[in-house]
Amino acid sequence: MRREPTEPERKLWMTLRDSRLGSHKFRRQKVVENRILDFFCPAKLLAVEVDGQTHDREQDLKRDRLFECSTGIATVRFTNEDI
C-alpha cells in the first residue's frame, strides 16, 4: 500500500469523503482478496480505481470482470485525466 495518494486520488477522495456523491461511505486503500482498491463502498459493493499511465486498460477490465465474479464487487475506472 502506498502512504501518499496521487494528486487525482487525493482530489477524488475529497469528493467521496465529503459525501458529495450521496450518503454512501467510501473506504480508501481497502484490501479485498489479493487487490488493494483505491476506494471501496461496502454498501454498494463498488470499487473505484484511478489509473495512471502505466495501466493496461484491456487487462485491467478482464481482471475486473473476474474480480466481480468472485467477490460481487463491481469496479469503475477513471484515468488521472478524467479526474
CA dist., res. 70 & res. 53, Å (int): 27
Residue 1 is assigned to a structural domain of this protein: no
Please provide residue 6's backbone torsions phi and psi, each rounded to the nearest 5 degrees. Answer: -70, 165
Residue 2 is assigned to a structural domain of this protein: no
Expressed in angstroms, the distance from the first to the final Cα of the chain is: 21
- Whole-structure pTM over 0.85, yes or no? yes
Indicate which CATH number applies to the domain containing 27. 3.40.960.10
Residue 20 is assigned to a structural domain of this protein: yes
User: Which pLDDT tens digit goes with each residue over 6-44?
Assistant: 999 999 999 898 876 778 899 999 999 999 999 999 999
Task: Quote the number of domains for the chain.
Answer: 1
